[in-house]
């Protein structure tokens, strides 16, 4: 397996900050069920709304729990990305 220079290796038990985008609207009250992630809605009038969740999860197991909760809520996943540590420290 080859890696890019400067890319931090991720392990199953790594704490990582993720940005998850889902289709539809999800209110902030769901944050506790979703590992305390910050929830921001982008409501669109003539197209599907997008909700963005940003937060640090303790490991891959907790990430899977968040994704399973979104699945149970019938929220289609649009994207999932790792936020680099330098961007994470600088704030969103």
Domain boundaries 16-86, corresponding CATH code: 3.30.70
User: Which residue ranges make up each domain of the chain?
Assistant: 16-86
Find, among 67, 54, 48, the residue nearest to 28 by Cα.
54
Outline where DSSP puts E strands in 1-92. 16-23, 38-42, 50-57, 77-82
Please identify every stretch of the chain with a pLDDT value under 50, giving residue numbers as ranges: 1-2, 91-92
- At 49-74, the pLDDT tens digits run 999 999 999 999 999 999 999 999 99
Q: Name the one residue in this structure whose structure tokens are 């990305």.
A: 81
pTM, 2 dp: 0.81
């Amino acid at each position: 397996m080859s890696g890019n220079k400067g890319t931090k290796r991720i392990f199953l038990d790594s704490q990582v900050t993720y940005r998850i985008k889902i289709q539809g609207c999800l209110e902030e009250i769901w944050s506790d069920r979703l590992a305390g992630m910050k929830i921001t809605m982008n409501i669109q009038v003539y197209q599907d709304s997008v909700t963005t969740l940003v937060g640090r999860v303790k490991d891959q197991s907790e990430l899977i729990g968040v994704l399973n909760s979104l699945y149970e809520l019938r929220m289609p996943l649009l994207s999932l990305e790792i936020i680099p540590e330098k961007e994470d420290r600088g704030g969103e």
